[in-house]
Amino acid sequence: MEKMMLASMDITEEKREALKRIFPEVFTEERIDFDQLKRVLGEWVDSDVERFGLNWPGKAECMKIIQKPSIATLKPVRDESVNFDETENVFIEGENLEVLKLLQKAYFGKVKMIYIDPPYNTGKEFIYPDKYCEELKTYLAYTGQVDDNGRRFSTNTDTDGRYHSRWLNMMYPRLYLAYNLLREDGVIFISIDDHEQANLRLLCDQIFGEESFVAQFVWKSRQNKDNRSISGVSTDHEYVLCYTKSLEGRVIRGDERKRDQYKNPDNDARGPWSSGNMVGLLPEDQRPNCHYDLIDPQTGINYGKPPLGWRYDKNTMQKLIEDKRILWPESPEGRPRRKVFLNELSNPYTGYSSIIGRDIYTRHGTTDFENLLEIKSFDFPKPKNLLKELLSQSVKGNDIVLDFFAGSGTVSQAIMEFNQENVEKIRYICVQLPEPTKEKSEAYKMGYKTIADIARERIRRAARQIKDDQNGQLDLNGNGKLDLGFKAFKLDQSNFRVWDGTVEDEDALIKQLELHVDHIAEESSTESILYELLLKAGFSLTTKVEKRNMAGKEVFSIADGEVLLCLEQEVTSELIDALASANPSQVICLDAAFQRNDQLKVNAALTFKSLAEAKGTEMVFRTV
């Protein structure tokens, strides 16, 4: 029981706590790292003051990466999607750092669960851009969308001088941006093994705050012992590190109580019961009022006191005795217990063990993959049942799950099956780099040129398998339709030509000015432009979009008319009046569509301003 503070509010402490909620990464051993705070706020500071915490070459540079805006976009790919117009699931092919930046505005604080299975840094599988300043450029070179000069994707071998540093430089900005996307009650699960477990734990302490640590789950991933180890030790486990954004309550559901253990052998009027432990938790010097001899008032048997005392003080214990809730053993050597009645339980769940995935092994993940794809070319995919176990502990309803190291697509399959089995509508966003498959692999020979290709095909096949199991009946027992589709997107350059402020050559500057007379890239489709503006205006990639005809022009209605977006090459006064009469909160048109008619543009702005003032609502007119 905490004592009530009688002093007035400590203003300084309140400010510190507010700062800690917003910027947990600037606190080290409860002290503020003001240099780090300045870096977070965009003011660059170099510091050589020694402090406790995880440091490595390149850490300071990571903050610059985080703060550098992305000029990329996510272009829709209907041909690779399933049920594009109806689904609320998203699969993105692209470099996940750029993608995470693009998701910030639309998904900030909206993701309930993040699960990632990042590279374990074993020295064999690690692919990522080496140079911090070339994220999009490097990605486009890697995927063959521009020439390959400056390609910087490679394997991080354990012979490199910055073996651990390079891995941390990859993980830090991605986890930092992932933190922003989590809901206040959201959780992140990160699979890892002994190669980087210690560093990852310290890294997450800095990003999420030590107080937001939930658990380091242990998964017995290997069923049989490995006899090849030089040390003689068979490493049979991996970890799943778990943090939350704000540990203010229960974030892990727990296991369902076994109701069959509640019986009523004595016909107690209060109903079925189970016996509960009454042994205490603290030694006598810390809780002396719970250390006493317990005596059965009917038989006089003295059961003494356990080394850690009893769970209740004498007064509380006496009330339990009077209420006939104590189970007395016949022998003095026995330990009294109490009746725990089923109808009095406040929580239908018990605690959740930190040892997870019972009888679920890596080989099951391999079997899941091979049975579905009919190939043997993906290394150590996570078992779908392990993912479903984590889902059961953290999501429900219409929650969003994010996986930005999607691999073969295990999370997508697990979510679809979880929804089917639990009558839920969990949605997913999965991101995967188009890492090339090896030319001699079965996957490559079957036409899967990248890991992203494999993941998309796995989702399609898993969906067909579920549909077959359901005999075509895709309803959730009257609670809506089972969503087995996904919208496919690919990371690419913006549909709008970006001003290059580094140009100094006169001819290049003139050329750049000419390009910006019409700043939309020639190869851009209307749908690509639509989704870029949608995302950068703060709307999710699955926001409802409908086409309307207004004054003879095609207009996109977003979120049931909240935003009207017109991408026609010509805007007329009739269209302006039609848009205004629809009473949207925001209208977006192409600037070039006014065809240098400044009077029409001014009239449009005044029309919306007057209408907003008359109705007392917010109405914004924007051009791009």
Which of 348, 367, 397 finishes a domain? 348
Alpha helices for 406-515 (secondary structure H): 410-422, 442-445, 451-469, 506-515
Looking at the structure, tell me whether residues 466 and 528 fall in a common domain: no
pLDDT in tens, 280-330: 989 999 999 999 999 999 999 999 999 999 999 999 999 999 999 999 999
In this predicted structure, which of 39-48, 96-105, 585-594 has the lowest mean pLDDT? 39-48
Q: Is the pLDDT of residue 597 over 60?
A: yes
DSSP conformation letters of 165-194: HHHHHHHHHHHHHHHHHEEEEEEEEEEE-T
336 neighbors 303 (Cβ within 8 angstroms):
yes
Q: Is the pLDDT of residue 356 over 80?
A: yes
For the chain, the first-to-last Cα distance in angstroms comes to 59
DSSP state, residue 383: P
Residue 160 has what pLDDT? Answer: 67
Which residue's structure tokens are 């009739």?
A: 574
Looking at the structure, tell me whether residues 453 and 370 fall in a common domain: yes
DSSP state, residue 377: -
Q: Tell me which residue range forms the domain holding 368.
A: 66-225+233-255+352-491
Q: Is the pLDDT of residue 4 over 60?
A: no
Looking at the structure, tell me whether residues 362 and 372 fall in a common domain: yes
Residue 402 belongs to some domain of the structure = yes
565 neighbors 624 (Cβ within 8 angstroms):
no
- Residue 428 sits in a domain whose CATH number is 3.40.50.150
Looking at the structure, tell me whether residues 120 and 217 fall in a common domain: yes
Which of 348, 378, 401 finishes a domain? 348
pLDDT in tens, 512-561: 666 655 678 778 899 999 999 999 889 999 999 999 999 999 999 999 99
- Tokens for 37, please give them: 């705070």
Distance CA 240, CA 189 (A): 6
Q: 93: which strand partners? A: 432, 490
Q: Is the pLDDT of residue 479 over 80?
A: no
Per cent of the chain over pLDDT 70 is 90
Residue 522 has what pLDDT? Answer: 76
Residue 17 belongs to some domain of the structure = no
- pTM of the full structure: 0.84
Per cent of the chain over pLDDT 90 is 56
- Tokens for 112, please give them: 């309930």
In the chain, how many domains are there?
Answer: 3
Looking at the structure, tell me whether residues 247 and 307 fall in a common domain: no
For residue 49, what pLDDT band results from cuts at 50, 70 and 90?
Answer: low
CA 318, 322, 328, 330 dihedral sign is: positive
Residue 13 belongs to some domain of the structure = no
Residue 397 has what pLDDT? Answer: 93
pLDDT in tens, 334-354: 999 999 998 888 777 888 999
Residue 329 belongs to some domain of the structure = yes
Distance CA 42, CA 26 (A): 13
Looking at the structure, tell me whether residues 79 and 211 fall in a common domain: yes
Looking at the structure, tell me whether residues 266 and 141 fall in a common domain: no
Q: 387: which strand partners? A: none
Looking at the structure, tell me whether residues 107 and 218 fall in a common domain: yes
Residue 24 belongs to some domain of the structure = no
What does the radius of gyration of the chain's CA atoms come to, in whole angstroms? 30
Give the mean model confidence (pLDDT) for residues 602-615: 84
Which of 312, 331, 348 finishes a domain? 348
Q: Is the pLDDT of residue 64 over 90?
A: no
Mean pLDDT of the chain: 88
Residue 25 belongs to some domain of the structure = no
Least Cα distance to 591 among 571, 606, 608 occurs for: 571
Q: Is the pLDDT of residue 150 over 90?
A: no
Q: Is the pLDDT of residue 400 over 90?
A: yes
Looking at the structure, tell me whether residues 251 and 265 fall in a common domain: no
Looking at the structure, tell me whether residues 548 and 432 fall in a common domain: no
Looking at the structure, tell me whether residues 549 and 535 fall in a common domain: yes
Looking at the structure, tell me whether residues 156 and 189 fall in a common domain: yes
C-alpha 38, offset from chain centre: 27
Least Cα distance to 168 among 194, 203, 140 occurs for: 203
Distance CA 517, CA 236 (A): 62
- Tokens for 291, please give them: 């250390």
Q: Is the pLDDT of residue 415 over 80?
A: yes
Residue 1 has what pLDDT? Answer: 33
